[in-house]
Amino acid sequence: MLTPIHIKFSATAETQFRYYLKENLRSVINGLKDLHETRLPLWRRIYDAQPLETVRHFPFENASNLVVPIASIHSDTLQARISAAVFKLRPLWALQIGGDFGDEGEALRSSAENYLTDMALEPEQLDLYRVYRDFLGDVVKYGTSVIKSPWETLTEAMAVPAGDGNGSYNLVDEIVFDGPRPEKIAFEDLFIPPQTTVLSRAPFKAHRRRLSYTDLMIRKQRGIYDKLGIQAILGAPDRTGPTAPQKEQEAKAGTTTIQGEIAREWDIYECWCIYDDGGHTVRLIATYHALTDTLLRTIFSFFPDDPWVGARLFPRDGMYFGYGLVEKLSSFQEEISKQHNERHDAQTVAN
């Protein structure tokens, strides 16, 4: 179990650090605004083969309105091929024998490789099949995706009989998970400077985490976030219902999130940055609520290697975000769909 080391700021130093976070976040959010709010919804509409209008009224009422799913067909095919190439390989991690183990060396090596493969695919452990499926899906469709693999320690309170014969019990915290937990960062929740070319060298990168009231209370109770900071942001949620993209996705699935107290969400930015602390260059992980300018936690990064791992399909000159198949095939999909609808409308008129 890793114990994070919290950095101790003076009042003046904390004010300066919050200003540093606020300005860097403002810069990356504005720099990626068009990508997140305009292009990404467009790419999702193209991938889902959604027509621009529900009903076409030209050249006549209820004219043919089919969108041929060229982008999704090729994206899903390529994703499946890459996934098969990765997970059909056995072992997932090849080990070498170091030292003299005699006749038992090969058996030990094989057992260790099988164990690592099981841990990689086990849903309650690394769950890499699910993570890679989502990760490769975004890489192929949108050109870029990032996995963050921090160390996570989860505890739960277990009821243990007190043994006094009166039916009383004690609550004992037990560790239910302690290890790396890779997860794909949603495309719209990834913030890095647009001019970044190598992810590990980015001086500032942020992951927007949308936390509910329950999430905040758990972090407050466990001492993960500053208790006074939690109290300061509770009255200022970033939203009381789903976002526009979430509403669109829910509409496709036939579900609805009702707005209200239970649907409140706070945008908590987990900022990984290189900062000058009194003449020392340090790597910090800061948890920050931008709406209220509240710093919830700041710790020294204890990772020997950068836990952010990214991939691109087709690189784009001068920046990290690459080209995806959806963007590359959008013109072909539009042209093929147009030809199909014109042919279908001509047949309708002829009949």
Convert the pLDDT of each residue in 270-327 to its tens digit. 999 999 887 889 999 999 999 999 999 999 998 888 999 999 999 999 899 999 999 9
Q: What is the DSSP string of 72-85?
A: HHHHHHHHHHHHHH
* pLDDT number for residue 1: 62
Q: How many residues does the chain have?
A: 351
pLDDT band at residue 258 under the 50/70/90 scheme: confident
95 or 286: whose pLDDT is higher?
286
Q: Which among 245, 128, 117 is positioned nearest to 183, based on CA atoms?
A: 128
- The pTM of this model reads 0.90
CA-angle at 52, arms to 47 and 58, nearest 5°: 140
Count other Cβ atoms within 10 Å, centred on residue 191. 23
Show Cβ contacts of residue 47 under 8 Å, excluding neighbours closer than 6 positions.
71, 72, 75, 141, 326
* pLDDT number for residue 3: 82
* pLDDT number for residue 67: 96
- Written as six digits, the tokens of 216 are 């905040």
- pLDDT tops 90 at residue 259: no
* pLDDT number for residue 183: 96
Q: Region 184-192: what's the mean pLDDT? A: 97
Q: Which among 166, 343, 186 is positioned nearest to 270, based on CA atoms?
A: 186
* pLDDT number for residue 263: 85
164 or 71: whose pLDDT is higher?
71
pLDDT band at residue 351 under the 50/70/90 scheme: confident
Mean pLDDT of the chain: 92
Q: Region 103-121: what's the mean pLDDT? A: 92
* pLDDT number for residue 134: 96
The SS3 assignment for 198 reads: coil
CB 130 within 8 A of CB 123: yes
pLDDT band at residue 63 under the 50/70/90 scheme: very high
Percent of the chain with pLDDT over 70: 100
* pLDDT number for residue 23: 97
- Written as six digits, the tokens of 89 are 């390989």
Rounded to whole angstroms, the Cα distance separating 328 from 49 reads: 15
Provide the residue ranges of all domains of the chain, joining segments of one domain with +.
Answer: 1-31+184-313, 37-143+324-351
